[in-house]
A and B are shown apart, each in its own frame.
Chain A
Amino acid sequence: MPAPDNRAAPSPRITLHSLSKFFGRFIALDRLSLVFEPGEFVVVLGRNGAGKTTLLRTLALLLLPSEGELKFDSHPASRLPHSFKQRLGFVGHEIALYDDLTAEENLRFFARLYGIADGPRRAAEVLAEMDLAQRAQSRVRNLSRGLKQRLALARAWLHQPDILLLDEPATGLDAPTRERLHEWLARCHQSGRTVIASSHDLAESLRPATRVLLLESGRVLFDGPNAPNLAEELRAKLVTAAREGAR
């Protein structure tokens, strides 16, 4: 995964003001007030059900807030034009790729949806960036879990968004590929992009991040800059939260 060589347009500042998301009676996000500055690399941590996925899906405009406000710069998310989605790249829990199309056909299709001028060239470029060029003609259903995940990352990166939202992007990747993913994400960040990624793995996920957000029951348990010995502190907070949750 070579470095993204282009500079991103200035990312918008993302502001959440007292934002809540309910699913029936379940409170997934509880009056979150946060600001993500342009060009930050934020890792979102938390136990299962802490609200990481809901937060990322809300930021990707896939979920509407139940209460509160989400703004990109000064624009409320609810009033953004469809074209704004050009600036967002999202990888969720599922790969969101068509099983019966090849890796290349999938990327060419999404290139057309995103209005990319030279879709076939860009698709080939991204496949090469993700070390998938040799599997370009393989149908997605025949790819391994790790290769599918890399292709999902390629889809999110195809239109070179200036905000990357990644929900546990290292899922299914082997150790060397995870290492390269972190390097690639660090370079995305260095090119001026905002990267917000969730993870379960404390030690590994913290390395490239500049800021750490720890969620518990839809609330912020910790929000601060990354630091050398932060993993231990966060682990202790998580254990305490788990004990309190069990009571």
Chain B
Amino acid sequence: MSAWRVATALLRKDLRAEWRTKDVSTAILLFGFTIAVSFAFAFKPTPDEARLIAGGLLWLGFLFSAVLGLNRGFARETANNCLEALRLAPADPGSLYLGKLLSNLLLLLLAELVLLPVFGVFFNLTLWARPGWLLLILLLGTWGVAALGTLFSAVSANTRMQELMLPLLLLPLTVPVLVAAVDLTTLLLAGRPMSEGGLQFRLLAGFDIIFTLLCWLLFGYVLEE
């Protein structure tokens, strides 16, 4: 059976359930909005300071919101022990991983696109001056978070302290993504040429490819009881 067929079945199922419940998107958006407001009042930056620190604050906001969304996203599989039905299916665990990764990635990206203007307003930023670069940075950064987050949300689903376990596992390992994405976003907001961020782009792309492959291979072991 084709891995793509399984992955798209999972993706469609997750999007349909999310459309009905808004569980994941509400969690990400409310938490992201709260973080944006908190940062804005905590730092009160001038426009010049905002351009320097906004990249970091933006990605911290995305990352913390993503943790919440990833936890809730996998909760759908643990309710009624649906994970068991997935394990019973004659599908390669890698294709199940791919489906969950795609649904997490899509939901996180959509939430980030909604949160961007919120950060833009609170920090008085012009975010859409170079939309192509912005979308590329968002895609590469979010892919890295979703790739690891999908695996670790499955790991933490089988633990007693599920809500705590995911951030403990995910945040340290996504430091390279955070550093590269923050650097690139700061370059973008400062209006500097994106060619200066070649190393960071390569780092992000390399991280995404390596960790997606690694998590794809490991997902079967994680699903085993």
CB distance from A191 to the nearest CB of B (A): 21
Q: In this assembly, does B5 line the interface, its C-beta being within 8 Å of a C-beta of chain A?
A: yes
Which A residues touch B16, using CB under 8 A? 101, 105
Interface stretch (choices A111-119, A169-177, A218-226):
A111-119
Q: How many residues of A are counted as interface, with CB atoms below 8 angstroms from the partner's CB atoms?
A: 31
Which A residues touch B17, using CB under 8 A? 98, 100-101
Q: In this assembly, does A72 line the interface, its C-beta being within 8 Å of a C-beta of chain B?
A: no
Most buried by B among A61, A98, A105: A98
Q: Are A98 and B82 in contact (CB under 8 A)?
A: yes
CB distance from A169 to the nearest CB of B (A): 15
A96 CA / B17 CA spacing, docked (Å): 15
Q: In this assembly, does B72 line the interface, its C-beta being within 8 Å of a C-beta of chain A?
A: no
CB distance from A70 to the nearest CB of B (A): 15
Q: Which residue in chain A gives the minimum CB-CB distance to B99?
A: A113
Q: In this assembly, does B46 line the interface, its C-beta being within 8 Å of a C-beta of chain A?
A: no
Q: Which residue in chain A gives the minimum CB-CB distance to B5?
A: A112
A51-98: which residues lie under 8 A (CB-CB) from chain B?
60-64, 82-86, 88, 90, 92-98
CB distance from A56 to the nearest CB of B (A): 12
Q: In this assembly, does A109 line the interface, its C-beta being within 8 Å of a C-beta of chain B?
A: yes
Q: Which residue in chain A gives the minimum CB-CB distance to B86?
A: A113
Q: In this assembly, does B13 line the interface, its C-beta being within 8 Å of a C-beta of chain A?
A: yes
Q: Are B79 and A62 in contact (CB under 8 A)?
A: no
Q: Are B79 and A82 in contact (CB under 8 A)?
A: no
A142 CA / B143 CA spacing, docked (Å): 36
Q: In this assembly, does B160 line the interface, its C-beta being within 8 Å of a C-beta of chain A?
A: no
Interface band, chain B: 20 to 34
Query: Assuming A64-B224, A83-B1, A101-B17, is B6 touching A96 (CB within 8 A)?
Result: no
CB distance from B211 to the nearest CB of A (A): 23
Please pick, from B81, B89, B91, B93, the residue contacting A94 in the complex, using a CB distance under 8 A. Answer: B81
Query: Assuming A60-B88, A92-B84, A94-B81, is B225 touching A101 (CB within 8 A)?
Result: no
Q: In this assembly, does B85 line the interface, its C-beta being within 8 Å of a C-beta of chain A?
A: yes
Q: Which residue in chain A gives the minimum CB-CB distance to B76?
A: A98
Q: In this assembly, does B183 line the interface, its C-beta being within 8 Å of a C-beta of chain A?
A: no
CB distance from B76 to the nearest CB of A (A): 7
Q: In this assembly, does B163 line the interface, its C-beta being within 8 Å of a C-beta of chain A?
A: no
A112 CA / B89 CA spacing, docked (Å): 10
Interface of B is mostly: helix
Most buried by B among A92, A93, A100: A100
CB distance from A55 to the nearest CB of B (A): 15
A64 CA / B87 CA spacing, docked (Å): 13
Q: In this assembly, does B21 line the interface, its C-beta being within 8 Å of a C-beta of chain A?
A: yes
A110 CA / B92 CA spacing, docked (Å): 14
Please pick, from A62, A85, A115, the residue contacting B84 in the complex, using a CB distance under 8 A. Answer: A62
Q: In this assembly, does A155 line the interface, its C-beta being within 8 Å of a C-beta of chain B?
A: yes
Q: Are A82 and B85 in contact (CB under 8 A)?
A: no
Q: Which residue in chain A gives the minimum CB-CB distance to B6?
A: A113
B114-170: which residues lie under 8 A (CB-CB) from chain A?
none
Which B residues touch A101, using CB under 8 A? 13, 16-17
CB distance from B99 to the nearest CB of A (A): 10
Q: Are A112 and B6 in contact (CB under 8 A)?
A: yes
Q: In this assembly, does B195 line the interface, its C-beta being within 8 Å of a C-beta of chain A?
A: no
Q: Are B5 and A99 in contact (CB under 8 A)?
A: no
Which B residues touch A84, using CB under 8 A? 90
A61 CA / B88 CA spacing, docked (Å): 8
A211-233: which residues lie under 8 A (CB-CB) from chain B?
none
Query: Assuming A82-B90, A83-B90, is B80 touching A98 (CB within 8 A)?
Result: yes
Q: In this assembly, does B37 line the interface, its C-beta being within 8 Å of a C-beta of chain A?
A: no
Q: Are A98 and B89 in contact (CB under 8 A)?
A: no
Which A residues touch B76, using CB under 8 A? 98, 100
Which B residues touch A61, using CB under 8 A? 88
In the assembled complex, 11 residue pairs joining A and B whose CB atoms fall closer than 8 Å, in A order, are: A82-B92, A83-B1, A85-B88, A88-B88, A92-B84, A93-B81, A100-B21, A101-B13, A113-B6, A113-B86, A115-B5
* 6 nearest A-B pairs in the assembled complex, by CB-CB distance: A96-B85, A112-B9, A94-B81, A115-B1, A85-B90, A113-B89
* Chain A residues packing against B (C-beta within 8 Å): 60-64, 82-86, 88, 90, 92-101, 105, 109-110, 112-115, 140, 155
Known: A94-B81, A96-B80, A96-B81; 7 extra A-B contacts, CB below 8 A, are: A82-B91, A83-B90, A90-B88, A97-B80, A100-B21, A101-B17, A115-B5
